[in-house]
Structure 1
Amino acid sequence: MVDKKMQHEINITHISGSVVSDIHEINSLSGTLPETKKQEAHNGGHHVVTHPTSYADTMLHLFRGNIGTGLLAMGDAFKNGGIVFSPIVTALLGIICVHAQHLLLNCSEEMHRKSKRDRAPGFAETVYLVFASGPVSCRSMATTMKILVNGFLCVTQLGFCCVYIVFIANNVKMICDQYNIHISLSIHMLFVVLPIMLACMVRNLKYLTPFSTIANIMMAFGVAVVIYAATQDLPAVETRVYMASWQQLPLYFGTAIYAFEGIGLVLPLKNEMSNPESFQKPLGVLNVGMVVVGSIFITVGFLGYLKWGDEVLGSLTLNLQPGEVLSNVVQSLIALAILFTYPLQFYVPIAITWPAIEKKYGATHPVAKELGYRALLVILTFILAESIPELGLFISLVGAVSSTALALMFPPLLELVSTSQKPGGIPTHILIKNCFIILLGLFIFSTGTYESVASIVRAFQV
């Protein structure tokens, strides 16, 4: 019933809007972080990590994986939520998202134990195994659900890539404008996509992973400067809207979920630890780390909206004082950090989709065809970025469309399917709780997608 064959393994790390992901198997997102310099071995049929990470190491990786474009968009999120509404709901969303991550971790651990695999399954494999071993009526859906998860992962990662192009182009344009080099945003995107295209032609990602460390340093410095700038000469809280209009709230939810959608990070981080049990404890890495991350999100969003009000933009870097050297440096560093991140982020949809295409069409000239396929996907992200150049709205759209499914809908669904097989069936409190989370995900998905698209249309009509 369960295929235990291990497939080709490639290690990669990347910063995304809110996630570090990694491919252990072609059809299964799991994850490792090359900073740990991990070596893998198989002893007696068991997968072991010879250089596991400590509590502190894992905490650091958790921070790295959640600090990115999503954090810098929190000011825009708070504008669409309100100065009072947003901190409260962001905290609640964070709790729900972390709970969903615990659900995924529990299901993965249970499937690992039941299937006796030598490696804990990744997200898509966990979904497959839960449905394959679930009620008879669900077993025929196992492959479909796995494909669906991989599809959402591809949409999410390509959505991040589109956001990256818009993000980089916006920051570069602001710098160029200060030197009276006035070029349209579309042309800046065209210039941005050229180095991205070249970087994405590198098939062996070990040559790209050193740039991840550079990107982390650049991002950390840039975010620190942005937070410092946001704390200067703050107006009174009373000058801001306490709760935004109902029409704006879906945009808030989309952006917030985009920032919190780090569910692809938790499985690899736990599996890398020397003491995996400490990952999920009450004071374990996940709970403590996400409390810190959530606090940073709330702080940055609150300060960003309080400082710049309705003028706050889709990235707080765009609100830095124009013409100042420090502003230009920060915008350049963060733009470069995201540029370095793109080809690593881009690897996920390639790893998921290319093997099947190669099997069917790659009998001759497989390398040339893979490079062509990579180029086509880069062009696709460029076209989408050109089509929706509004950074804040694009982030909200990506969050509403795909992040909600991965972060809020699949984990509780997995627990329901898994629990239904246990004696006594699904307890009432678990049924109510999980249905609430799924309905919340459906609400954010539907209203966030609709309002994001409607706002994008209105932006083009202005």
Structure 2
Amino acid sequence: MGKTLEITKPEQQQQQQQSSHGEKDGDVEGNVKQRHATSNMEAATHLFKGSVGAGLFAMGDCFKNGGLIGSTIMLPIIAIMCVHCERLLIRGSLLAVSKTPGAIFYDYPETVEKCFEYGPQPLRRMSRAMKLIVEMFLCVTQFGFCAIYFVFVTENLHQVFLQNGIDISMSMVMLITLLPAMIPSLLTNLKYISPVSLVANFALLFGLIATLTIAFSEGPMPPFGDRHSFTGGTQLALFFGTALFSYEGIALILPLRNSMRNPDAFSSRFGVLNVTMFCITALFIFTGFVSYMRWGEDVAGSITLNLNVEDVMSQVVKIVAALGVFFGYPIQFFVMMKILWPPVKRANGCAQKYPITMQVALRFIMVMLTFCVALVVPKLNLFISLIGALCSTSLAFVIPVIIDFVTRTQVPKGLGTLIYLKNIGILTIALLGIITGTYQSIVEIIKEFQ
């Protein structure tokens, strides 16, 4: 799932500090006085773009691991849990802003830090550590996205090359993609990178529509009974990881809400968050259901790999889908660098003296690292499941629930029995998914090396 963070905190804060104060929203939100620029439709578009990417093409594999009926039931449940935890994060951020004089907006790591700072006395010393943990998970997640992009592009291009008589190894194809990925990733200004996002989204949309069209045109679908309706054990663990990877867009929530003209419309009953997540879930279910019905147990980590490579149209679809993912690499890489560069700059004297040179050097090193990881891990579906189970689950479920516990303990009777049981239930599901999904993904990856 490509997750493009196009609204950066420093840019927003600069704009907001120059703007006049808006009207008071009431309750906690009245403390966030600012002028918002993004419409509901624009915010929904950004959220959709940031939550739909390479993970969408992995929905066939997701349904294979969860079963036709099982996946159709569990995906909406996961979506509801994600939306609920995103609301918990918004609530925590608003509380943190309301308690900090002069504060306008906090992103995900800062929200966690401030909630712990204002939390019970024994937890306050953990505020800095919790912020670092969230930044680490965000970095690892973005790093995983970038590595997965290399694998996705390579696997699709490799099929096309072989079909056209170009006998070349997967490693060499990946090496060919390194230079085109490297050049835009070395740029330090987002405005020079962001235009490729539009191209990437059109390419992804075309690739998906064309792939599903081909799937329907290959004749009657196999009987429903030929496919698993439910699964269990290790397959469910892999399903959970892939699903969470595809849904993980929680880092976008606070910047998007903060950018809106009417922030209340973001999380209202029929607001941006609910409507967009409903559309994303429907798209995931349709894509996964059709893909698994068509290709069954042979469905690949990316459904484009199941297309008949001898067909010219299928080759075009593979190339366009690969380009769509490829063009998203610099944006995802930029997000990772926004997290990595500030601490590196503070800790390194040379980075302060030669900021541009050192940042370009760091970017070069990180591109090479993502390339090396992609080269080592051969299976796209297992890589997606591992990142989803380990990092995406922590960011989407565990941290927001912890924030809710911390903020509610500050209010007398704020942590009622029902809320307590609900939060414990979410944590139990999340930890079970982290442990089983991570373990099974690592086991399957190790098997690939044997």
Matches within 5 A, 1:48-59: 52-59=37-44
Deviation of the 1:118 alpha carbon? 4.0
Matches within 5 A, 1:44-443: 52-232=37-217, 233-359=220-346, 360-361=348-349, 362-443=351-432
> How much is the aligned-residue C-alpha RMSD, in angstroms?
2.0
Cα distance in 2 for residues equivalent to 1:53 and 1:22: 11
Equivalent residue of 2:238, what SS? helix
Deviation of the 1:248 alpha carbon? 1.3
Cα distance in 2 for residues equivalent to 1:448 and 1:385: 20
Classify 1:218/1:104 alpha carbon distance in 2 versus 1 (closer, same or farther; 3 Å).
Answer: same
Equivalent residue of 1:119, what SS? coil
Cα distance in 1 for residues equivalent to 2:201 and 2:16: 25
Cα distance in 1 for residues equivalent to 2:392 and 2:272: 22
Classify 1:328/1:49 alpha carbon distance in 2 versus 1 (closer, same or farther; 3 Å).
Answer: farther
What amino acid maps onto 1:192 in structure 2?
Answer: T
Cα distance in 1 for residues equivalent to 2:446 and 2:200: 34
Deviation of the 1:355 alpha carbon? 2.0
Deviation of the 1:287 alpha carbon? 0.8
2:35–2:261 contact (8 Å) kept in structure 1: no
TM-score scaled to structure 1, two decimals? 0.90
TM-score scaled to structure 2, two decimals? 0.92
Cα distance in 2 for residues equivalent to 1:427 and 1:105: 20
What amino acid maps onto 2:281 in structure 1?
Answer: G
Classify 1:363/1:425 alpha carbon distance in 2 versus 1 (closer, same or farther; 3 Å).
Answer: closer
Match of 1:42 in 2: 18
Deviation of the 1:160 alpha carbon? 0.4
Alignment match of 2:435 (pick from 446, 450, 462)? 446
Q: Deviations over 1:73-98 (max 9, x none)?
A: 01001111111111111111111111
Cα distance in 2 for residues equivalent to 1:267 and 1:311: 39
Q: Deviations over 1:348-394 (max 9, x none)?
A: 22222222222323244332222111111111111111111100111
1:19–1:263 contact (8 Å) kept in structure 2: no
What amino acid maps onto 1:240 in structure 2?
Answer: R
Classify 1:329/1:51 alpha carbon distance in 2 versus 1 (closer, same or farther; 3 Å).
Answer: farther
Deviation of the 1:323 alpha carbon? 2.2
Cα distance in 2 for residues equivalent to 1:134 and 1:258: 30
What amino acid maps onto 1:371 in structure 2?
Answer: V
Cα distance in 2 for residues equivalent to 1:65 and 1:374: 22
Equivalent residue of 2:8, what SS? strand
Q: Deviations over 1:293-344 (max 9, x none)?
A: 1111111111111110011001111112212222222221221122221111
Unaligned 5+ segments in structure 1 are 1-15, 33-37
Count of aligned pairs between the two proteins:
437
Percent identity between the two aligned chains: 39
Q: Deviations over 1:260-312 (max 9, x none)?
A: 11111211221121111111111111111111111111111111111100110
What amino acid maps onto 1:171 in structure 2?
Answer: N
Deviation of the 1:17 alpha carbon? 2.7
2:5–2:331 contact (8 Å) kept in structure 1: no
Cα distance in 1 for residues equivalent to 2:91 and 2:194: 30
What amino acid maps onto 2:18 in structure 1?
Answer: H
2:4–2:331 contact (8 Å) kept in structure 1: no
Equivalent residue of 1:231, what SS? helix
Unaligned 5+ segments in structure 2 are 23-31
Classify 1:110/1:75 alpha carbon distance in 2 versus 1 (closer, same or farther; 3 Å).
Answer: same
Classify 1:139/1:49 alpha carbon distance in 2 versus 1 (closer, same or farther; 3 Å).
Answer: closer
What amino acid maps onto 1:358 in structure 2?
Answer: K
Deviation of the 1:432 alpha carbon? 0.9
1:31–1:267 contact (8 Å) kept in structure 2: no
What amino acid maps onto 1:209 in structure 2?
Answer: S
1:135–1:417 contact (8 Å) kept in structure 2: yes
Equivalent residue of 2:261, what SS? coil
2:398–2:430 contact (8 Å) kept in structure 1: yes
Q: Which is worse superposed, 264-273 or 51-60?
A: 51-60
Cα distance in 2 for residues equivalent to 1:85 and 1:280: 28
Classify 1:175/1:117 alpha carbon distance in 2 versus 1 (closer, same or farther; 3 Å).
Answer: farther
Match of 2:447 in 1: 458
Equivalent residue of 2:104, what SS? coil
Cα distance in 1 for residues equivalent to 2:144 and 2:303: 20
Cα distance in 2 for residues equivalent to 1:48 and 1:171: 48
Q: Deviations over 1:82-140 (max 9, x none)?
A: 11111111111111111111111111122222214442211011101110000001100
2:237–2:437 contact (8 Å) kept in structure 1: yes
Cα distance in 1 for residues equivalent to 2:212 and 2:449: 31
Classify 1:59/1:243 alpha carbon distance in 2 versus 1 (closer, same or farther; 3 Å).
Answer: same
Q: Which is worse superposed, 16-25 or 67-76?
A: 16-25
Deviation of the 1:245 alpha carbon? 3.8
